[in-house]
Amino acid sequence: MDDHVEDLWCVAVWVFQAWMFVVLFLIMLPAMFGLSLGVTGVYIQVLVHILEWATLRIQRGRQHEPSVPVPLPNGIIERGGGSMEEEVGRLRGPGPPTGGHFSLSDALFFYQTGLESIVDDTVTQRFSSEELNSWNLLTRTNQNFRYISLRLTLFWGVGVCVRYGLLLPFRITLAVIGLSWLVIGTVLVGLLPESSVKNWLSELVHLTCYRICARGLSATIQYHSKENRPQKGGICVANHTTPIDVVILANDGCYAMVGQVHGGLMGVLQRSMSRSCPHVWFERSEMRDRHTVTNRLRAHVAARTKLPILIFPEGTCVNNTSVMMFKKGSFEIGGTIYPVAIKYDARFGDAFWNSAKYNMVSYLLRMMTSWAIVVNVWYLPPMEIQDGEDAAEFANRVKSAIADQGGLLDLAWDGGLKRGKVKDSFREEQQKQYSSIITATDQ
């Protein structure tokens, strides 16, 4: 009996040693130096072939089983896409409107637009997961692909074992190592006197830890136009899909983070990071004081030796299909704006954080049990406010550039509508547009 227990203990020790060897020497050390052994690239290529095979099996299955429903496209309302003036003119017809100022048919435009918004509004659908044209083997709840193929079901079963039995433990191990290293490293660096050496070590610690965390998500990141990377004394603004956006960007350069002071584990991370690097954290009461926030950010930017500020002007996570309204506060600070477009490949996992549906722990579990995080990052040329341009117009210009580069929809709606009511200014804008139409008719 004792020999049997001793044998089991030896096997457990051997497994642990092999596990730590793989984690430390084959994953963590190459990640720390920004190197890759090519394993992740091969893994992604294998995944691409498997998902392509699964798509073909689904297509053939639909041919043999016509009763299997076809997934609905994104958006169930087909909108005309014309302006208010064009749509009102179409409803009025070729003749002049009755009454000179107003035509009864004008009301049909507002009825139609209102019903479209009730059935399928353009805001709510940006806060639900991006739909795929085919199954990516990450769930068995999709009724379209459940019973099409026995081999497909077997592949899904093997995938569950791989994702939960192999990938998840590896990723948790790397995340714990990366975060622990971040806390210990920043605290130790924070003990040093202010100098160029301290700044260099701080950036090295941050960069190393974020690279370990990124490798812990099996992140494959393609950076484009690196010559446009944000510089010190500037402001980096990017579209926002997930809290992991910070890890993705900080994997290629260091940033000064901006946010509210938290408690718990997040608070420990914030306090330790602030010891070695001038991040900008605000108390809850300060966040409500726009003047205080602007002054502190402006003072940070004015010090040209400090790291670029990283800001997500949407103020909330959007589902990787669109860019919503940028808050103008980030563009009132002054200084150079460095736009960045981020686009995730939804085939390998759903990076969007629906905070109304998942808490942070549940979301991270979903991320760590997905196939991988595959993302493209585009550094756009730096932009500055033009003469005669106000902060809101500058924000819209930057947003449009990000949306165009990332292949995302450029929406004017405020992401705050996810939880709030429509501002009076939006209704007033519609009223002004219609007023200009009937005024022009009278003329």
Listed ranges 19-23, 74-78, 259-263, 284-288; the one with the highest mean pLDDT: 259-263
The answer to whether residues 174 and 215 touch, using CB atoms and an 8 Å cutoff, is: yes
Angle at which helix 196-216 crosses helix 168-190, to 10 degrees, equals: 170
Instruction: Tell me the whole-structure pTM to 2 decimals.
Output: 0.78
Tokens for 362? Answer: 């549940």
Higher pLDDT, 65 or 309: 309
Q: Where do we find the tokens 């450029």?
A: 410
C-alpha distance from residue 406 to each of 303, 376, 421 (Å): 31, 8, 29
* CA 388 to mean position of chain CA atoms: 32
What are the tens digits of pLDDT across the range 255-307?
888 877 777 777 778 788 878 888 887 776 666 667 777 788 888 887 778 88
- What is the Cα–Cα distance from 419 to 427, expressed in whole angstroms? 18
The answer to whether residues 288 and 280 touch, using CB atoms and an 8 Å cutoff, is: no
Q: Is the dihedral of CA 242, 247, 251, 253 positive or negative?
A: positive
- What is the Cα–Cα distance from 191 to 139, expressed in whole angstroms? 48
The answer to whether residues 171 and 217 touch, using CB atoms and an 8 Å cutoff, is: yes
> Taking Cα atoms as reference points, which of 311, 320, 328, 314 lies closest to residue 415?
314
Task: Report whether pLDDT(72) > 50.
Answer: no
C-alpha distance from residue 251 to each of 111, 119, 198 (Å): 49, 41, 20
- What is the Cα–Cα distance from 254 to 186, expressed in whole angstroms? 13
Tokens for 5? Answer: 């227990």
Higher pLDDT, 52 or 226: 226
What are the tens digits of pLDDT across the range 151-204?
777 888 888 888 898 889 888 888 888 888 888 888 888 888 888 888 888 888
What are the tens digits of pLDDT across the range 134-155?
677 776 545 455 556 777 778 8
Phi, psi of 315, rounded to the nearest 5 degrees: 80, 0
The answer to whether residues 190 and 275 touch, using CB atoms and an 8 Å cutoff, is: yes
